[in-house]
């Protein structure tokens, strides 16, 4: 059975894992969340690089994987070349879906919602220049949104008014398309859509990554239909910090029932602590 390692600073990559599982139900997923280093947008780049390298190397020691998906926009801009040098396992990263958004937008007004770190990185300017230079692009970099979404796993309500206020620049510029430039955001797409009922297209990178993963696994010959599929779509979910309360129910709601759930992974000297959630 093919196995994909999905990596993020927190639970955001679960939006990507859900797209992969919908497309590739016979593939087993292993998920690593570096929530002890969360949010990556607040960390210096060498720190993000070091953390990703060591956690992914540790995960590959325990689980043989056919593909690595860095399901984090912030990390993808920093770590892909190093990871590709570190391992022979193919690595896929994620970038804000500017190109598909430009293909959708009818009024040529696009909003980009991302973390402040992603909003200020030059690669976003390059994507806009390359794929959306005939569009008016409004950017919103929100420092708290990823925290609110992490909290929602444990049942904390999103602050509705603050969320709506944060999206006001998109209303003012009458965007018809919004790019969700952080993998956490598709997890609250319904709430976002309620705040911005005039937006026609919500675009993220999850499906594109799932298609890319399918293509790469096919090329390797590691994609084979199995009689029963994996016992759990997510064989193991490994947190470098504490396991969020309510995680198992949250994942089950996304169609990603987890097998093994571990916190404070890999722990001192590689020891692991198992948590029930």
Nearer to ligand DGL, 39 or 206 (CB): 39
Residue 181 CB, shortest distance to ligand DGL, in Å, is: 7
Q: Which residue in the set 72, 102, 213, 216 belongs to the binding site for ligand DGL (CB under 6 A)? A: 72
Residue 193 exposure: Cα atoms within 13 Å on the Cβ side: 9
- Residue 195 is among the residues annotated as catalytic for this protein: no
Residue 201 CB, shortest distance to ligand DGL, in Å, is: 19
Q: Which stretch binds ligand DGL (CB under 6 A): 51-59, 97-105, 115-123, 262-270?
A: 115-123
Q: List the catalytic residue out of 72, 104, 135, 195.
A: 72
Q: List the catalytic residue out of 65, 135, 182, 195.
A: 182
Nearer to ligand DGL, 73 or 105 (CB): 73
Does the footprint of ligand DGL cover residue 239 (CB under 6 A)?
A: no
Nearer to ligand DGL, 105 or 115 (CB): 115
* Residues 8-47 close enough to bind ligand DGL by CB under 6 A: 8-9, 12, 38-41
* Residues 123-142 close enough to bind ligand DGL by CB under 6 A: none
- Residue 182 is among the residues annotated as catalytic for this protein: yes
Positions in the binding site for ligand DGL (CB under 6 A): 8-9, 12, 38-41, 72-74, 115, 117-118, 146, 182-184
Residues catalogued as catalytic: 72, 182
């Amino acid at each position: 059975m093919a196995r994909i390692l999905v990596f993020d600073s927190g639970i955001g990559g679960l939006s990507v894992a859900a797209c992969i599982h919908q497309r590739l139900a016979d593939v087993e997923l292993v998920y690593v969340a570096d929530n002890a280093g969360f949010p990556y947008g607040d960390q210096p780049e060498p720190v993000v690089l070091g953390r990703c390298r060591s956690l992914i190397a540790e995960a590959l020691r325990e689980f043989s994987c056919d593909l690595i998906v860095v399901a984090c926009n912030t990390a993808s801009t920093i770590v892909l070349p190093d990871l590709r040098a570190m391992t022979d396992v193919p690595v896929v990263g994620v970038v804000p879906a500017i190109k598909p958004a430009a293909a959708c937008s009818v009024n040529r007004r696009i909003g980009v919602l991302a973390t402040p770190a992603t909003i200020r990185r030059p690669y976003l300017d390059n994507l806009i220049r390359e794929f959306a230079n005939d569009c008016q692009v409004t950017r919103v970099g929100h420092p708290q949104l990823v925290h609110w979404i992490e909290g929602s796993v444990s049942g904390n309500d999103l602050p509705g008014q603050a969320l709506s206020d944060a999206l006001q620049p998109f209303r003012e510029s009458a965007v018809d398309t919004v790019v969700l430039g952080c993998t956490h955001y598709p997890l609250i797409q319904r709430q976002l859509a309620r705040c911005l009922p005039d937006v026609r297209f919500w675009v993220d990178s999850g499906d594109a990554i799932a298609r890319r993963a399918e293509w790469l696994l096919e090329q390797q010959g590691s994609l084979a239909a199995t009689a029963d599929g994996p016992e759990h779509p997510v064989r193991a979910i490994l947190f470098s910090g504490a396991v969020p309360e309510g995680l198992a129910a949250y994942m089950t709601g996304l169609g990603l029932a987890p097998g093994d759930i571990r916190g404070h992974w890999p722990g001192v000297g590689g020891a692991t602590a198992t948590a029930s959630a």
